[in-house]
Amino acid sequence: MEPENDTRISSFLLLGISEDPRLQPFLFGLFLFMYLVTVLGNLLIILATVSDVHLHTPMYFFLSNLSLVDICFTSTTVPKMLVNIQTHSKAITYAGCIAQMYFFILFVGLDNFLLAVMAYDRFVAICHPLHYMVIMSPRLCGLLVLASWITTVLNSLLETLMALRLSFCTNLEIPHFVCELNQLVLLACSDTFPNDMVMYFAAVLLGGGPMAGILYSYSKIVSSIRAISSAQGKYKAFSTCASHLSVVSLFYSTLLGVYLSSSVTQNSQSTARASVMYSVVTPMLNPFIYSLRNKDLMGALRRLFRRKP
């Protein structure tokens, strides 16, 4: 007997990271702590870059945008998870699931594009230092961020509209802590071939494109650093992009690890646990990585705290 289709469903069930009731208080405390640290750390970076005139440069302009996106990214997933744990409920409405999926795709894509834009900024700073302020003009910086937003908004809208055409079976359990597009497609009873094609196309074009840009930028950066004669000059040049390289490595290694492992394993809840790394842990660590050994940013933060009303 074929499963019954229901295109007018009211809610899904988010199974979360673990269904063990003994772990729920620990998970609530852990994710509440990580969420507060993420919001506070990234908010401090935004306030420091906005309030300190010394940080009104392209690098910190992109960093403040990345911090804003990271706050929005974690706010898309963690609060709903905390509410479900606290209320002992796994339900999320159909409209809420679609909205969460839209913003999840949007902010993952924005993280991806902004990291590529920041890699280009470091490429210009190291490979063309004399023309840096001319090339990275405020107009170009604004256009790069605007283009990133427009591209990811349109992609998220397209993938969400494609998801709205799906009809679902009676099994509405999502083995994840977020309404992730791939999990919704797996639950669908209708033809998912168009959705799969759009997802693969977006992954190659909008995921692989920025990654290729980052790899190209760093290949040029490495070549330029190797051409520097003094060891001190090499260290100074590398130190300007060390933080960004650390964030890029952390983001892409966890993101690729999740989706490559999900293609070879059928344990979706293990994939959900691994997804915590790029969707929660990486945004939490970004402020620490960028402020570590960054004298300009640390000085701006100290001046921010010393400022009297």
Residue 175 belongs to a domain:
yes
Residue 5 belongs to a domain:
no
Residue 127 belongs to a domain:
yes
Residue 206 belongs to a domain:
yes
Number of domains into which the chain is organized: 1
Q: State the Cα angle at 251 between 246 and 257, rounded to 5°.
A: 120
Residue 2 belongs to a domain:
no
CB 12 within 8 A of CB 97: yes
Rounded to whole angstroms, how far apart are CA atoms 115 and 124? Answer: 14
How do the pLDDT tens digits run along the chain, 309 residues long? 344 444 457 789 998 888 888 889 999 999 999 999 999 999 999 999 999 888 899 999 999 999 999 999 999 999 999 999 999 889 999 999 999 999 999 999 999 999 999 999 999 999 998 999 999 999 999 999 999 999 999 999 999 999 999 988 777 888 889 998 988 888 888 888 999 999 999 989 998 999 999 999 999 999 988 888 888 878 877 887 888 888 898 888 888 777 666 655 555 666 777 788 888 999 999 998 888 768 888 888 888 787 655
Complete edge-to-edge strand list for the sheet that includes strand 11-14 = 91-93, 11-14, 173-174
CB 190 within 8 A of CB 5: yes
Residue 4 belongs to a domain:
no
Instruction: Name the token pair of 194.
Output: 């168009």
CATH number at residue 279: 1.20.1070.10
- Strand duo 91-93 + 173-174: pairing: unpaired
Residue numbers of the domain that contains 194: 11-306
Write the pLDDT tens digit of every residue in 139-170.
999 999 999 999 999 999 999 999 999 988 77
Angle, helix 282-291 to helix 24-51, in steps of 10 degrees? 40
Residue 152 belongs to a domain:
yes
Residue 252 belongs to a domain:
yes
Percentage of the chain lying above the pLDDT 70 cut: 92
Write the pLDDT tens digit of every residue in 12-41.
999 888 888 888 999 999 999 999 999 999
Instruction: Name the token pair of 275.
Output: 């997804």
